[in-house]
Amino acid sequence: MNAFEYVRPDDVAGAVTMVSRDPHASYLAGGTTLLDLVLKDGVVELGRVVDITRLPLRGISRGDDTLRVGALTTMEELAADPTVTERLPFVREALLLGASPQLRNMATVGGNILQRTRCRYFRDPTVAACNKRAPGSGCAAVTGVARMHAILGARAACIALHASDLCVPLVALDAVVHIQGVGGKRSVPLTEFYVLPGDRPDIENVLQHGELITEVEVPLLPVNARSGYLKVRDRASYEFALTSAAAALLIEDGTIARARLALGGVGTIPRRAREAEELLNGAPAVNQTFRAAAEVALRDPFTVSGTAFKVELAKRTIVRILQTVSGVQS
Amino acid sequence: MTVVTANKLLGDPVDRVDGPLKVTGAAPYPSDVTYPGLVHAVLVQSTIAAGTIRSIDAADAEAAPGVLAVITHENAPALAEGPMTPLLGPAPPSPLKDNRILHHGQHVAIVVAETLEQATAAARLVRIDYEETAPVLGIDNPEAAVLRNPWGLETQRGDAAAALASAEVVYDETFAIAAGTNNPLGLFATVARWEGDRLIVHESTQWPTMARQTLATVFNVPENDVQVLVPYLGGGFGAGLRTWPHAILTALAARLVDRPVKLVLTRPQMFTSVGHRAETTQRLRLGATRAGRLVAIDHVGTSTLGAEAANMEFISIETGAAYACPNVATHDRQVRLNIPSPGWMRGPGSEGNFAIESALDELSYTLGIDPLELRLRNYAEVHPQSGLPWSSKALRECYRVGAERFGWTRRTPEIGSMREGNWLVGYGMAGVTFGGAQLPCQVRVSIRRDGSAHVRSAATDIGTGTYTVATQLAAELLGLDIGQVRVEIGDSDLAPAPPSGGSSLATSLGGAIRDAAGNLLRAFLNVLAEDHRSPLQGRRRDDVTAADGRIHLVDDPSVGETYSDILARHELDELAADGEINPQADGAGMAPSGPFAARFAEVRIDAELGLLRVARIVSAVDAGRILNEKLARSQIIGATVMGIGMTMLEETIFDPGSGRIANATFGDYLIPVNADVPDLDVVFVGEPDRFSPIGSKGLGEVGIVGVSAAIANAVYHATGRRIRSLPITIDQLL
């Protein structure tokens, strides 16, 4: 590792100024991603680490229709929140199916949103070809061992997966990210926060260097909505998703009045399945509808040999979660 | 040969004697060792799989803060090759011989600095210019050199080809098992220190005696000047059977910087530095009668091998011994690739068992015979190759007791006929015939004037319980309380011992302790030969036994005296005796048995999502006399978990283009977590083994064998999908 400076400011503005002015500085919150990237994998070299764990950004408050979650709230704290249990049960499920209790006690909500891909070609500095690490160098994963990789939003330049579970229900819910920079505050819907790899897989989101996520605002589901999160993986616990799906349905007299659907394990970014939602809205809650929605959601995948099976698996994952949430038998 | 029959302590579920040390963190593992002035080493590994090093620029690394040395092939002294090893063949090639690169992750430099952080930073500054050539990768690669029958262990009996040609039923399928990595939790470490020409090494090894020989040979110093210490080891699973290049490099670094040097491998380096279970393919052909009698087995096993390394991989080793089949041919093939050298990983032979036991299951459906019944119809009453009686075999009992505990009769034979909710339920089973060896072993046992005993051998405890069973055995044989026995192992200066490997150590060391205990009683009687004050004067070994700290007549326990009294009266501080075991199967009139087992698995499958979960596994094991029921159970449970890993999760994946291991972290190489491990029922059956002086047979590995076939057979029963490649992952079940 290279030597770096470590600082721990007490106020948000000071932290933001510190990082914004220094292109080699980075925020450190729970550290569950950054420590791997810097210390173990050696793919990120920093001049200065700005520890933000003392900033007053930890805690959850409830509004009428939303939950405001401080960026430094841990995954475990969010999962334990009574409003989450009551009004956002699939958020709780996604949290508790992610990582391990030890990690969830360290990892923060802001950090979860900003977690880097698990692609081993990205995380190994001896691999030369990685457009995400070194723009223009190519992508070794496309011709390499790719199983935990993306099939939606992927392209030959990059198939790195965004592996978050939490972000899947959050994009389904139209959560909003509150951001502070040196020039002031702004808010971005999570669905518009991430950037598809395109030609610049190194650009992953709309944040400018130094901008800090301070809070995530999560709209609550209607009281009579039902929701669920399904995570499919080989290992029964403590593994990233091969495929996952978050669904929330409002069903009236056997008809889907309002559907929210998002996918994990398949996208370069957490995938909101809007076309599938449109198909579901107003349709009868039956298996035929679910399968049609799944087909739409997985339209135009980009697969390599190791990920081809995920197309059908993702469709079945969608069908199953819709069945589970709606109570329709398979 | 008589077997130990007393049973005061043997078999008792005694807690680990080293348990308190371990749970309090006080047990010194190799990576815990430190010295004043100790410095740290970090490896630089090749980032190509084949080619040569054109040049190395170490200037920046050498100039970095704290750096003491950057050792490469350009400045390293020539090192001799390690010795031939019994069991394992030639040693791994010594490091830094020349500029050739044979695999990705090959050690090309070692950087020594005052702190670990400085060494780590400097290692990243070593710039290497490679001349890359196309690596030979892939077990099916036609360009790869193939070794045929590399160890002369192929089995031939009868005429398998002719019997296959005329068999009523013929089976012919291929199997593939991914490479796996041993991954003991304890990262392998070496701490090396030279005192003049004397080398002291704290080393993660399962075999101190061999590590000493290897280091002495490589550095061309007398064996007397090398001491290898490993009182505790954080697991090995076969990775510690070799003295690998990183250990040699650490000793070399210590010599060159003239300071004690510590190297701890990182987890990714564990994948490339200490062996792995070879990737294998198998073609298995069976011939059978319609009544379910095997008439022919032809088994070809192919495994991967490092470019210039040797590895005795045992894919088909048990094929000839497992069933009473008159015509058997086994074939061993090895394919040389640009990969890190494979080595033994717990339970070599489990691969062949997967094929045979899957094939029998398939045959059972073809023939309409219950899988268990089919195995009984081909039961090998005597060793099928030699025709000799087994030294012990309770496999039939394993089947009976295992089936009973599992509830095998509840199985409805039709595929997909059992369900629980949305989950398909499958039952599967497998039989296990496994090799087991006693190996030459020596030990010294002494009794001190306070009546305490000291047992010394260069054996190791890799987490298996050697300390505990050696303590129990010595206490039993010398008539002492467990608290009066101290076992000292993990030091190559002590009496030579075989590795903790090949399921051999407990029985080998136990046999040696039994011999030593007998010799020690003789030594006491010798002291008393002219002692008319002793009630035991003139008595012979057969006349006496020991209990409660005293030697007494077998026929009259009231006649005897304590060790302490004898030693005090004769003004002796202690009496010591050596013991050894050097088992010779030739002429014994029996076939030495390894352990046997029957495995029964119940799985649940979500067919739409391809989810496979193991609901329970019952293991009925014949390992002869069980020395410590608690430790034995733990061994089987732990190995069964590894078997679940091998079957459903573990896969060391080589990047097809670069030969780099693509998943060399615990985040990417999946091993079972608690949620994957169901109720594991273990039952021991059988009698003491006649060939083993203490009646035990090795059980360190048998627990992994048969798990794969039992699960795969259960998957077939549930779904009708026959999976012949491991691991069985979601994509195979969709």
In a domain, A207, yes or no: no
Q: Which two tokens stand for residue B320?
A: 């000839």
Strands A243-252 and A255-264: antiparallel
CB–CB contact B665 A120 (8 Å)? yes
Please choose, from the candidates B564, B523, B569, the residue with its C-alpha nearest in 3D space to the C-alpha of residue B544. Answer: B523
For domain B33-134+182-273, which architecture applies? 2-Layer Sandwich (3.30)
CB–CB contact A143 B610 (8 Å)? no
List pLDDT tens digits, range A149-199: 999 999 999 999 999 999 999 999 999 999 999 999 999 999 999 999 998
pLDDT recorded at residue B580: 98
Distance CA B299, CA B732 (A): 25
Alpha-carbon distances, residue A239 vs A231, A233, B159, B292 (angstroms): 10, 7, 50, 43
pLDDT recorded at residue B570: 98
pLDDT recorded at residue B139: 98
Q: Do residues B373 and B124 touch, judged by C-beta distance below 8 A?
A: no
In a domain, A119, yes or no: no
Q: Which two tokens stand for residue A328?
A: 């329709």
Distance CA B696, CA A296 (A): 63
Instruction: Please name the amino acid found at residue B716.
Output: Y
Please choose, from the candidates B393, B432, B317, the residue with its C-alpha nearest in 3D space to the C-alpha of residue B593. Answer: B393
B672 chain-A contacts, CB cut-off 8 A: 235
B132 chain-A contacts, CB cut-off 8 A: none
Arithmetic mean of pLDDT, A121-147: 95
Rg (C-alpha) for chain A, rounded Å, is: 20
Q: Is B284 helix (H, G, I), strand (E, B) or coil?
A: strand
Q: Which two tokens stand for residue B419?
A: 């369900």
> Is B732 at the interface with chain A, CB within 8 A?
no
DSSP state of A22: -
> Is residue A286 very low, low, confident or very high in pLDDT (cuts 50, 70, 90)?
very high
pLDDT recorded at residue A3: 84
Number of domains in chain A: 2
Give the gap in angstroms from C-alpha B664 to the nearest C-alpha of chain A.
9
In a domain, A35, yes or no: yes
Q: Which two tokens stand for residue A198?
A: 């395109």
CB–CB contact A140 B658 (8 Å)? yes
Q: Which two tokens stand for residue B519?
A: 């010799």
CATH of range B19-27+439-581; options 3.10.450.50, 3.30.365.10, 3.50.50.60, 1.20.120.1200: 3.30.365.10
Longest dimension (CA), chain A: 63
Neighbours of A130 (CB within 10 A): 24
List pLDDT tens digits, range B9-43: 577 889 999 999 999 999 999 999 999 999 999 99
Q: Which two tokens stand for residue B11?
A: 């078999």
Is the pLDDT reported for residue B5 higher than 70?
Answer: no
Instruction: Please name the amino acid found at residue B683.
Output: V
Neighbours of B26 (CB within 10 A): 11
pLDDT recorded at residue B9: 54
pLDDT recorded at residue B2: 39
> Is residue B8 very low, low, confident or very high in pLDDT (cuts 50, 70, 90)?
low
Calculate helix-pair angle for B208-219, B245-257, nearest 10 degrees: 50
Arithmetic mean of pLDDT, B127-134: 98
pLDDT recorded at residue B10: 72
Nearest CA in chain B to A100: B673
- Average pLDDT over all residues of chain B: 96
Calculate helix-pair angle for B707-719, B350-367, nearest 10 degrees: 30
The values of phi and psi at residue B705, to 5°, are -80, 135
**DSSP string for residues in A209-236:** TT-EEEEEEEEPPPTT-EEEEEEE-SSS
User: How many helices (H) and strands (E) would you count in chain A?
Assistant: 12, 12
B611 chain-A contacts, CB cut-off 8 A: 232
Instruction: Please name the amino acid found at residue B423.
Output: W
> Is A317 at the interface with chain B, CB within 8 A?
yes
Q: Tell me the Ramachandran region of residue B335: left when phi exceeds 0, alpha when psi lies from -120 to 50, beta otherwise.
A: beta
Q: Do residues B96 and B81 touch, judged by C-beta distance below 8 A?
A: no
Of A1-5, A275-279, B29-33, B181-185, which gets the smallest average pLDDT? Answer: A1-5
Q: What is the CATH number of the domain that holds A240?
A: 3.30.390.50
B265 chain-A contacts, CB cut-off 8 A: none
In a domain, A180, yes or no: no
pLDDT recorded at residue A330: 80
Please choose, from the candidates B35, B31, B110, the residue with its C-alpha nearest in 3D space to the C-alpha of residue B67. Answer: B110
Please choose, from the candidates A213, A208, A210, the residue with its C-alpha nearest in 3D space to the C-alpha of residue A195. Answer: A208
CB–CB contact B730 A242 (8 Å)? yes
Q: Do residues A169 and A88 touch, judged by C-beta distance below 8 A?
A: yes
Distance CA B506, CA B696 (A): 8
> Is A116 at the interface with chain B, CB within 8 A?
no
Arithmetic mean of pLDDT, A54-62: 98
A2 chain-B contacts, CB cut-off 8 A: 121, 124
Instruction: Please name the amino acid found at residue A227.
Output: S
List pLDDT tens digits, range B427-456: 999 999 998 789 999 999 999 999 999 999
pLDDT recorded at residue B53: 98
Nearest CA in chain B to A237: B675
Instruction: Please name the amino acid found at residue B304.
Output: T
Q: Do residues B333 and B140 touch, judged by C-beta distance below 8 A?
A: no
Neighbours of A190 (CB within 10 A): 24
Q: Is A259 helix (H, G, I), strand (E, B) or coil?
A: strand
Please choose, from the candidates A90, A163, A151, A167, the residue with its C-alpha nearest in 3D space to the C-alpha of residue A314. Answer: A151
Arithmetic mean of pLDDT, A68-96: 98
pLDDT recorded at residue B280: 98
Is the pLDDT reported for residue A242 higher than 50?
Answer: yes
In the residue annotation, B154 being an active-site residue is answered as no
pLDDT recorded at residue B1: 37
In a domain, A305, yes or no: yes
| CATH top-level class of B345-436+589-733 | alpha beta
pLDDT recorded at residue B340: 97
Nearest CA in chain B to A239: B667
> Domain range holding A231?
226-326
Identify from A45, A142, A234 which residue to disrupt to test chain B contact, counting B C-beta atoms within 10 A and taking the largest count.
A234
Give the rounded distance of the alpha carbon of B731 from its chain centre: 31
Helix residue ranges, H only, B465-531: 466-478, 505-527
Q: Is B365 exposed, middle or buried (0-12, 13-18, 19+ CB in 10 A)?
A: middle
> Is residue B4 very low, low, confident or very high in pLDDT (cuts 50, 70, 90)?
very low
- Range list for CATH 3.30.365.10 in chain B: 19-27+439-581, 33-134+182-273, 345-436+589-733
Contacts of A297 (CB under 8 A, 6+ apart): A261, A263, A271, A273, A275, A276, A314, A315, A318
CB–CB contact A42 B675 (8 Å)? no
Strands B560-562 and B107-113: unpaired
Length of chain B: 734
Nearest CA in chain B to A141: B655
pTM: 0.97
Please choose, from the candidates B555, B562, B566, the residue with its C-alpha nearest in 3D space to the C-alpha of residue B529. Answer: B566
Give the rounded distance of the alpha carbon of A105 from its chain centre: 18
Identify from B424, B604, B608 which residue to disrupt to test chain A contact, counting A C-beta atoms within 10 A and taking the largest count.
B608
